[in-house]
Amino acid sequence: MSRKVKFVEPAKLYLMIKEELDAAYSEVMSKGELIDRGQLRSFEENLAAFVGTKYAVGLNSGYDALHMSLRAAGIGSGDEVIVPAHTFVATASAVINVGAKPVLVDVGKDFNVDCDKIEGAITSRTKAIIPVHLSGYMADMVRVMEIADKYRLVVVEDACQSLGTSMESETTGRQQATDSKPQAPNTRNTRRMAGSWGLTGCWSFYPFKMLGGYGDGGAITTNDPDVALFATRMRYNGEDRHSGEYHGHGFTCLLDNLQAAFLDVKLRYLPQWIERRKAIADRYRTALSDLPELLLPHYDDPRRDHVYQNYTVRSKQGNDFSEYLKAKGIEVLTQFRKPYYRHEALKLENRGFPETEALSREVCSLPMNVEIADDDIDYVISAVRSFKQ
């Protein structure tokens, strides 16, 4: 069988919106607007509006967003920060690189931090928690915020994989702010986007994220003016761009104007792309849910929706299953077969994380992208069904 199904096809997606991307490119190039110009401002405004926060600050990567958030919150040496055992390594690296200690907590069946295990990891040094919204599905932010309030922890949301997902908040959800003055209760509605609950939401526009640029990119969203100002200065070596004054030793991590122009085009498509992802997920679910040995990423919490950055299934025959699909010409992702805390050089404490260990052996993400053809999905489905579990 010579058929090939790619995990993502960036060139195909480009052709779908070529005219608008080319126009954005021409505009930037012909005017020579490269650094900190109108396209960046426009994208930041549209991103903030989409997430439902007052501010968005464009940065160079999702890592920078995490790093900047921890700096803004004053997290540093001697502090502990709770992070999930199952996430991309950058979540923990940001903590290490501000001089603090990541304290790992196991995840639950939905791949997100197990809220029942958070309190057991809190010590007198714990200053913050970074819930990660993995694969397009939010951590239970109602519980996370309750725990954070109780122990006065800063919450930094690693929302790099979950732009556009939301959760019903039973309480009058208020976002955190550094001055800890109570914010006006959110009375518009009780459904709140990922990235609008904590002090900051951290975003990545790495090419293969749901909103992907054509190179690295990232942002924070926040309602806190001091955090927004801090990030705006520190991304540009600490400089206030109006006065020229340096307000601290900063970094070089400004989102490129050209990338912002591309991202602004793509953000307009995001709502319809999310619908497409949900439709593909439904197709997988309908066709595969009778397979008893295969766990599908559908969870019955009516308060949360799933935007399927990834469609990650679990098979007890992890490697056999993923190798079988690869042999059928289907590109799959097996993140993360080796949990990050098992990489010796990172020198992280492995306190035993049974769910992370189990799922890391079993995960397999099936092709999930907006550019995929329906008959390719059907081909993936028939290949999955033909595997003898």
Cα-only R_g, the chain: 21
Nearer to ligand PLP, 48 or 113 (CB): 113
Provide, rounded to whole angstroms, the least separation between the CB of residue 288 and ligand PLP: 24
Nearer to ligand PLP, 66 or 377 (CB): 66
Nearer to ligand PLP, 203 or 321 (CB): 203
Question: Which residue number is nearest to ligand PLP in terms of Cβ?
Answer: 62
Provide, rounded to whole angstroms, the least separation between the CB of residue 111 and ligand PLP: 10
Q: Which residues, 6+ apart, have CB-to-CB distance to 99 below 8 Å?
A: 76, 77
Provide, rounded to whole angstroms, the least separation between the CB of residue 225 and ligand PLP: 25
Residue 175 CA, chain-centre distance (Å), reads: 18
DSSP class of residue 158 equals E
3-state secondary structure 27-52: HHHHHCCCCCCHHHHHHHHHHHHHHC
Output phi, psi for 169, to 5 deg.
Answer: -110, 125
**Interacting residues toward ligand PLP by CB under 6 A:** 61-63, 87-88, 90-91, 132, 158, 160-161, 204, 206, 216, 218
Nearer to ligand PLP, 108 or 383 (CB): 108
Nearer to ligand PLP, 158 or 376 (CB): 158
Provide, rounded to whole angstroms, the least separation between the CB of residue 317 and ligand PLP: 26
Nearer to ligand PLP, 158 or 256 (CB): 158
Provide, rounded to whole angstroms, the least separation between the CB of residue 335 and ligand PLP: 9
- Both tokens of 166, joined, read 């939301």
Nearer to ligand PLP, 61 or 322 (CB): 61
Q: Which residues, 6+ apart, have CB-to-CB distance to 241 below 8 Å?
A: 36
Q: Which DSSP helix (H) or strand (E) runs through 167?
A: strand 166-168
C-alpha to C-alpha distance for 318 and 331, rounded to whole angstroms: 15
Nearer to ligand PLP, 31 or 109 (CB): 109
Provide, rounded to whole angstroms, the least separation between the CB of residue 216 and ligand PLP: 6
Cβ proximity of 310 and 365 under 8 Å = yes
Nearer to ligand PLP, 73 or 210 (CB): 210
What single-letter amino acid sits at 126?
A: T
Peptide bond into 251 cis (omega under 30): no
- Both tokens of 230, joined, read 């801090």
Q: How far is CA 270 from CA 196, 202, 258, 263, 275, in A?
A: 18, 17, 19, 10, 9
Provide, rounded to whole angstroms, the least separation between the CB of residue 66 and ligand PLP: 6
Provide, rounded to whole angstroms, the least separation between the CB of residue 214 and ligand PLP: 13
In the chain the first and final C-alpha atoms are separated, in Å, by 21
Q: Following CA atoms 240, 244, 249, 254 in sequence, which dihedral angle do they give, to the nearest 10 degrees?
A: 50
Provide, rounded to whole angstroms, the least separation between the CB of residue 191 and ligand PLP: 22
Nearer to ligand PLP, 62 or 102 (CB): 62
Secondary structure class of 357 (helix, strand, coil):
helix
C-alpha to C-alpha distance for 167 and 190, rounded to whole angstroms: 8
C-alpha to C-alpha distance for 2 and 4, rounded to whole angstroms: 6
Q: Which residues, 6+ apart, have CB-to-CB distance to 157 below 8 Å?
A: 130, 131, 133, 141, 194, 195, 197, 198, 200, 201, 202
Provide, rounded to whole angstroms, the least separation between the CB of residue 132 and ligand PLP: 5
